[in-house]
Structure 1
Amino acid sequence: MQSLSVEIIAHMIDALVEKGWCEWPNAISNELCLQLLNELDALDEQGQMEEAGIGRGQQHQKNHGIRRDSIYWLNGQSEAQQQYLAQMALLQQQLNRELFMGLFEYECHYALYSPGDFYKKHSDSFRGNANRMITTVLYLNPQWQNEWGGELVIYSEDGEQVLHTAMPEIGKLVVFLSEQTPHEVLPTQQPRASIAGWFRCNASTAINLDPAR
């Protein structure tokens, strides 16, 4: 089964250092992505997906004007989840080895966007609280058509310039610096499935990899 290789990860790391983000089509095999998609669909049918919110802890709230999607946190309960988490563990190991980032934890959830859903421009980590260091997004959507929308838009650190637009195509992995990378999900016309994840770091050991500095 196709999986992340040391060579792919090396290219990702080079792009992170140079640009702060990278996109790798076909990084994860279609076979594994379809297993994960089938699991997500089953969870949705069983009513186990929960409405997503914004903020963390006491600041957590639901706001349909900013975000409309449903989520389910991965916990390694299935073989497909275990395979995916093992590949993310390899990525974490290489990031720590090459960049001395001190990443110690990875958390991720399924994200299901129904037709009309979106997520307005935001950042995944706030300055001075950079425990989320690296964001990953894996797409699970076979035969995605451009006219269906649902693109991930990556902006410059000030949020003014579009740096990249990624179509949510099966097997594609997008990785970027959590704190320095505003991004949004444009409205989708078809059900859109992904796994969003974050490598976390102790705040005391967080480092800045902003390529502009």
Structure 2
Amino acid sequence: MELSLSESPLLATHHPCVFETISRGLWQQGYVVLENAIPPSVFATLENNFLKLNENTFSEAGIGRGRDHTANNFVRNDKIVWLENDSELADWFDWIDTLKQELNRRLFLGLFDFECHYSIYKPGDFYKTHVDAFRGRSNRKLTMVTYFNRGWQPQDGGGLVIYGADKVTRITTVYPERNTLVLFLSEDFPHEVLTTHRDRYSLAGWFRVNNSTAEHIDPPL
């Protein structure tokens, strides 16, 4: 579902039409692609924070988590930096929290918390086909991506390709244009980032569910 809210006079920081559109897309097909869904003031906060960062603060991305985390340049070679919920990004995390509440209310997803990082892909970088969560083995429920690039063209590469369960059928390709928002169910959609031919800037995040038990605290402290 590729829609645009850029012309809507109703678009506001927490306007319910955005959340209704997102919820409907997730309910009907498990993914949604929206242009200008993040309110301009909120997106500006996020973008300005990103632009202030020095590339030297970014670290080589890896695969897996915790003890299983390893660098693997055959799978991905972007660089990332994780975001902290501080005062500078308060508007962003407030919007994320409202989105989480609205999705839980409308779709009963049980979303518990959110984590996200900025990514930089330099020319030649990619991320091979993968899933963000394995059934029964991860608490990532919903994947979210947005972008900071202007004037992106198909020949620039770097598209996000979302596949069907067979990992072959292309459902959609999303080019990383500024304030395009992508959400999809983490367990259900293999995806990849095609080789980019220019600097590609993005944010990737995950809404997680709480798998805590008497013996195990999750998400970890």
TM-score (norm 2): 0.85
Out of 78, 84, 88, the residue aligned to residue 92 of structure 2 is 84
Are the aligned partners of 1:139 and 1:168 in contact in 2 as well (CA < 8 Å)? Answer: yes
Q: Which residue of 2 aligns with 1:36?
A: 46
Shift of 1:59: 1.1
1:19 partner amino acid: Q
Out of 32, 37, 45, the residue aligned to residue 27 of structure 1 is 37
Are the aligned partners of 1:136 and 1:196 in contact in 2 as well (CA < 8 Å)? Answer: yes
Most deviating of 22-31 and 149-158? 22-31
Task: Write the mapping of 1:25-174 to structure 2, written as runs, cut at 5 A.
Answer: 25-29=35-39, 32-45=42-55, 47-77=56-86, 79=88, 81-174=89-182
3-state SS in 2 of match to 1:103 = coil
Q: Choose between structure 1 and 2 for higher RCO, CA contacts under 8 A separated by at least 6 residues.
A: 1
CA distance in 2, matches of 1:148, 1:2: 32
Most deviating of 164-173 and 21-30? 21-30
Are the aligned partners of 1:30 and 1:170 in contact in 2 as well (CA < 8 Å)? Answer: no
Shift of 1:33: 3.8
CA distance in 2, matches of 1:189, 1:3: 34
Shift of 1:29: 4.4
1:69 partner amino acid: D
Encode CA deviations 1:37-57: one digit per residue, 9 max, x unaligned: 443343234x21111000111
Are the aligned partners of 2:45 and 2:92 in contact in 1 as well (CA < 8 Å)? Answer: no
Give the CA RMSD over aligned residues: 1.9
When residues 8 and 35 of structure 1 are mapped into structure 2, their CA distance, relative to the original with a 3 A threshold, is closer
3-state SS in 1 of match to 2:57 = coil
3-state SS in 2 of match to 1:108 = strand
Encode CA deviations 1:163-203: one digit per residue, 9 max, x unaligned: 01101011110000001110000011111111100000023
Are the aligned partners of 1:4 and 1:28 in contact in 2 as well (CA < 8 Å)? Answer: no
1:7 partner amino acid: C
Stretches of structure 2 that go unaligned for 5 or more consecutive residues are: 1-10, 214-221
Out of 19, 23, 43, the residue aligned to residue 9 of structure 1 is 19
3-state SS in 1 of match to 2:53 = helix
Q: Which residue of 1 aligns with 2:204?
A: 196
Q: Percent identity?
A: 45
Stretches of structure 1 that go unaligned for 5 or more consecutive residues are: 206-213
